[in-house]
Amino acid sequence: MAWPECEVNPSKSARHFYGAEVRRLRTERGWPLHRLAEAVHFSPSTMSRVENGDVRFPTPFRRSSTASS
C-alpha cells in the first residue's frame, strides 16, 4: 500500500514549484514514483523529496570563496 502524497505549495519556493511540476508531469503520464526514480537514476525516497521540495540542488554558477577575482 502506497503512502499518501504530501500536498505541495508551488508558490512557496522555486524548489516547491519544481517539485510540483515534476509530480504533475509524472501523474499525467500515469507513472508511479518508483518508475520515475528508476528512469532518472534516483532512489524512490530521493525522488519523493524532490517532489516535496525538500531537495536543494547545487547552483552551477556559485563562486567558491577560494575562487580568484
Residue pLDDT tens, the chain, 69 long: 566 677 778 888 888 899 999 999 999 999 999 999 999 999 999 999 999 998 876 666 555 555 554
Q: Which residues of 1-27 are buried (b: 16+ CB within 10 A; e: fewer)?
A: eeeeeeebebeeeebbebbbebbeebe
For 50-66, the pLDDT digits (tens) are: 999 988 766 665 555 55
pLDDT at 36: 95
pLDDT at 8: 78
pLDDT at 55: 83
